[in-house]
């Protein structure tokens, strides 16, 4: 069994945690994009890019807020506020 230093262990733990976080964000983005497309249709490129740049926390908040959207203007207003 190879010797693992505390620095290597810390790096592994940090990398594992960051990987999990990125996976959660990717899944949230995929779901939110599907829901937005179903609710509002194809999004304009600039708005789509702004959605893609959201953090996990904001993406989850958008997932809840989009239930009240009736148009792309509602999404645009939400993005400007957040």
Q: What percent of the chain has pLDDT over 70?
A: 80
Write down the pLDDT at residue 23: 86
Write down the pLDDT at residue 36: 98
Q: Answer yes or no: is pLDDT of 12 > 60.
A: no
Q: How far apart are CA 42 and CA 37, in angstroms?
A: 6
Instruction: Flag whether the pTM goes above 0.95.
Output: no
Helix (H, G, I), strand (E, B) or coil at 42: coil
- The mean pLDDT value for 40-66 works out to 96
Residues 75, 66: contact at Cβ < 8 Å? yes
């Amino acid at each position: 069994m190879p010797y693992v230093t505390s620095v290597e262990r810390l790096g592994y733990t940090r990398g594992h945690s960051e990987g999990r976080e990125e996976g959660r964000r990717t899944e949230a983005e995929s779901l939110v994009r599907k829901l937005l497309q179903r609710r509002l249709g194809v999004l304009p490129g600039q708005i789509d890019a702004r959605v893609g740049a959201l953090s996990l926390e904001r993406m989850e908040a958008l997932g809840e807020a989009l239930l009240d959207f009736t148009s792309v203007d509602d999404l645009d207003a939400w993005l400007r506020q957040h």
